[in-house]
Structure formats: C-alpha cells, structure tokens
A and B are shown apart, each in its own frame.
Chain A
C-alpha cells in the first residue's frame, strides 16, 4: 500500500489531527509507504515539513507544495492539487482527518477522481474495509470500497490516537521533496478568495473540543436562569452546551446546541442539568467519557446514559455545585 495523507499545519507544526491521519495510514498496513502532502508558502511551511519528516517512518516522504496560490487551504485549489499529485503518484489510499479542512477538501478531490469517499471512519478493519458511525453514532456501518484506486477516507482523529514520537529518530528522518507545480497554475479556478478567519471568543473553550461541557435543558426555564450554567462552566473552565429544547425556547443561541442536528461532543466530563434526554440530544453526547445528569424527574431518559445521576431540583443543586466544586487547575 502507498498512502497520500493530506496534512494541515499551523505555526510551523503539523496539526495533531493530521498526525492522527498518519496513524490511520499506518493502520492500513505496517509497511505502508506514506507521503504527507503539505501546502502553503513561506518559512512556516518549511518548518512544518522538518517537523513532519522527523515523525514519519523512513520509508515515507514529505511532499511540499510551495506556492502563493496555496497560502490558504481553499477546497478548489487543494482538490486540484490532490488530483495532480495522485495522477503522478498512483497511491492506493488518500487520507485526511475529518477536520473542517478534510471534510471540505477530500470529497471534492474524490469527485475529480471519480471515487466514492468514505468519511468519518473510526476503524480500519482491512485495507478496504472500514467502520463509520451513521445516524449520529446510533448505528455503526461496516463499508467496503470496491471501486478502482485510490480508496479515499477521512478519519475521526479521536479514533486514531497518535503514539508518542521519539525524538531520537531524527537520524533517519523521511526525505522532503517539492511537488512540481509548473502545470498547476493553469488548472486552478481562482473563483474563490480567502477573506479572513475570525477566532471564537477565547474566554470559553470551544464546544467541539472542550474537556468539560456543562449543558442546560428546558428545565432551566429561562435565559436568566441559564446564567447558572454559565457560572458553573466558568468555574470548571468548561464549554457551555444546550439542548434543542433550550435553544427553541430562546434561552441561548443556536450555536450552543448539542445533538444530532447540533454539535457532536465527546468530552472527558459532560454535565447535563434539566435535560430530559431526547434521542437527538443523546446522539450528540453519549460518547462522552463521564456523564453526570441532574434532573428532578427520576424517570428522565438521560439517567439511562449517565454514570452519575442526581435526582433533585437543579436550582438547589447548581448553586451548591458552584460552591463545592474545585476551581479549574
């Protein structure tokens, strides 16, 4: 097998999600020869390349696409780049992490190569046999790719943990080579322009990647009461989530919704207050490591997935918790 991994980099390092994609490439076969494709321009690209070279096995390589056209990771240019690199390299597999980058780029590249991609893979059983969640994780689907090469995947980074990199292996670092972009500039569209990137409010961690999430449901009764959730989240350094019912009732904006149609989260600790446990909400949080539920209705279905349940009035429990839980370290 030979695998092209689409890599993302930031301030001179390869992103952790791309290292997971490399781990997935190794899961295809031990002897898999991996080509990590990095694109961009300037010294931070070079730096990321050396960083990557030291974390790859020696039968692998880093491919650098250095061009002003690739400064921002636009799907239109990246898909053309992948198409071009694949035609030269005839890889058996192409993998990206299912980050917003991979989800945006890989299916477009797959269409150009006339391949059905398999997205959000959580397990590689055989080189062409994969498991991926469907129905927001309420079922697992085993899929076989039966078409012509390449097999194209996005992988869920949390399912492919990155082994600790030994820094002593620098001596047999993978080679770095430049992608020949001489025919590239005619291929690209230039119909898409990057304008800006706005970072989220950094006071609270991002809901999708937070270690702790505190969520409120309809039981909070009002937007004003929801501040109790925010206060607890602040104390724990947690992200705030909400159920669809709480969003529909206008307590909080839509972007906080956790559930099948909202964000899907899997933090170390998930605390749910006044949440009944509707199917579509459970779909968005049931992969959390530890789930705590507080609800005055002992029959609420949230208790079926909770590791720790407390039957009680959240308006008494929340202030007590805010007082008794330790500050975040």
Chain B
C-alpha cells in the first residue's frame, strides 16, 4: 500500500511549541491567616503548590502535544527562587523544559505580562496558555494583558479548546455569564483556562524522577529588558467580617419553621 503524500505545508511545517505560565501559590486546602500587623497573609510554614488553574493550563498543553498537534511544552514561572519547585512539578507532569525568571521584586500582573511578552518573543510559541486566575490574589488579569501587549487574540475562561492546524485557528468555548460563548481565533493565541477544561493528571513517581534531569533555564527581568513597574500599593490586608454563630435545630419541622418565619427565605 502506498502512503498518501502529505501536503507540503503540513509535512514541512515546523511543529508548534506551547508555552504555559505557572504560578506558585498557597495550597488551595490551606486555611490562610492574616498577619496581626495587617501587612499581608502569613506565609511561614505554609504548604505551597501550583495554582490549580495553572495545572489545568499545563494539562491542556500536554494533551495537545500528546495528540500530535504540538511538539514541545515549555513551562515558565516568574518569582523567587522557590518557583523552581513549581516548575519541577510541571516537568514531572510532563513539560519538556522550563524557564524561571528569578526576581524577589513585588510583582503585579502588568509586570508579569510584560515579562511573558518578552519570553514569547524569544521562544515564539503558537499558543500561550495560562490559568484564568491565581487563587491567592484572584486578579484574573495576566492572560488578557499579555494578549493585549502581544496583539494576539484571546480565548479567556476556556472550557474547550479545539485546534485546527490546517486552518491555523483555535476554536474556544468560553464560560461566560449564563452560558458558553464560542470564538474562532487565529493562531498564535492566548488561552486562559476555566475549571471545566480538563482534570489535571498526577505526576507519577518515575516521571518525578525523570523531571530531575530536565533543564530549568534561569533568566532575570534585566536580561529580558523589563522594568518592574510599581503603580500599586498594598495598604493593608485584613480579616473579613466573621459570620455570627448560628443555632442548632432539633428537627426538620423546626428548621422549616425557622426558614419561613425567622429567616424569611422560603
């Protein structure tokens, strides 16, 4: 049997690279404590993990690579030395290599977006995937901002991504108020992930071992020629008002009575 000849642009096209930004945050199961001096959240001896939405972003990149539509997944993280741990997790999940932009400066999404823009210009991925937000500062900004700086189209809050390499587009289902919106975006594109996009895999022990020999390239904001801008000042961090203690009822009848006549909610 003769193999069909692939069209020229398909067979010779360089395989696509995917870049995934990952953030190191306080683990989602940790009960955070506000520092008594109101300067922030107590970070001493707190378990840190990869931001859950970033895990989904990385998982999506890995699935696209596994489907043959991309050849390489590069994980990047920006922040202090410990970000290396998060990148190792990413490598253990299956990323091919990693880049760490090391800085101890206070970082806000605009600076992160500028650093990512420079990394994209260096690495030239066809797809940049990020979590829609980090569960620490809950900003939900970085993906949109880097897309704006790059002048790339954006598919934010994605719950489904279908790539068509032939047409060089990504069809993205987005979670919007009261439903789903479908967009067709020309590659290269920025995608931010919502919860329903996929269920991230766990790193297996052999892959954790393998990840130890993978490369993490170090860079600095100076090398990327990005000045860390500070146009935001955190004045204080406080505890939210506490809920008043409730009552324990003894029966369904009592509960129904209270909901009707005391709380007036049914």
Contacts and interface: CB of A to CB of B under 8 A. Distances in A.
A108 B144 contact: yes
Given A309-B246, A309-B249, A269 B266 contact: yes
B28 A303 contact: no
B233 A143 contact: yes
Given A144-B235, A290-B265, A191 B152 contact: yes
B177 to A, nearest CB: 5
B145 A111 contact: yes
A104 interface: yes
Contacts of B246: 291, 303, 305-309
A320 to B, nearest CB: 4
A117 interface: yes
Contacts, number: 253
B195 A262 contact: yes
- List the 4 closest A-B pairs by CB distance, nearest first: A147-B231, A111-B148, A111-B145, A107-B144
A101 B140 CA distance: 12
Contacts of B85: none
B219 interface: no
A138 B32 contact: yes
Contacts of A138: 31-32, 240
Contact of A310 (B177, B255, B265): B255
Nearest to B146: A111
Contact of B252 (A133, A142, A146, A324): A324
A200 B196 CA distance: 14
Contacts of A290: 259, 263, 265
Contact of B183 (A194, A261, A268, A269): A194
Interface of A: 74-76, 79, 99-101, 103-112, 114-120, 129, 132-148, 189, 191-200, 206, 208-209, 212, 236, 253-255, 257, 260-262, 268-269, 278-280, 286, 289-292, 298, 303-311, 317, 320-321, 324-326
A307 B113 contact: no
B231 A115 contact: yes
Contact of A325 (B52, B180, B266): B266
Contacts of A195: 171, 182-184
B179 A199 contact: yes
Contacts of B152: 191
15 contacts: A75-B147, A100-B174, A115-B231, A134-B136, A135-B135, A136-B138, A146-B231, A189-B151, A198-B182, A200-B180, A269-B263, A279-B31, A291-B243, A292-B259, A307-B243
B234 interface: yes
Contacts of A119: 138-141
A191 B185 contact: yes
Contact of B29 (A120, A279, A307): A279
A189 B153 contact: yes
Interface class of chain A by DSSP: mixed
B240 A133 contact: yes
B185 A192 contact: yes
Contacts of B89: none
Interface class of chain B by DSSP: mixed
A111 B177 contact: no
Interface in B127-163: 135-142, 144-149, 151-154, 156-157
A261 B28 contact: yes
Interface string B230-266: 1111111111100111111111110110111001011
Nearest to A15: B177
Interface in B104-118: 108-110, 113
B233 to A, nearest CB: 4
B140 A103 contact: yes
A107 B141 contact: yes
Contact of B195 (A79, A145, A254): A254
A129 B238 contact: no
B67 interface: no
Contacts of B176: 100-101, 197
Nearest to B192: A104
B245 to A, nearest CB: 8
Contact of B259 (A120, A139, A308, A309): A308
A117 B252 contact: no
Contacts of A292: 255, 259
A142 B256 contact: no
Interface string B162-188: 000000000100111111111111100
A209 B109 CA distance: 28
B41 A135 contact: yes
Contacts of A191: 152-153, 185-186, 189
A308 B199 contact: no
A269 B110 contact: no
Given A191-B185, A261-B195, A146 B232 contact: yes
B161 to A, nearest CB: 13
B232 A142 contact: no
A193 B240 contact: no
Contacts of A305: 243, 246
Given A134-B237, A192-B183, A261 B248 contact: no
B44 to A, nearest CB: 16
Interface string B18-30: 0000000010111
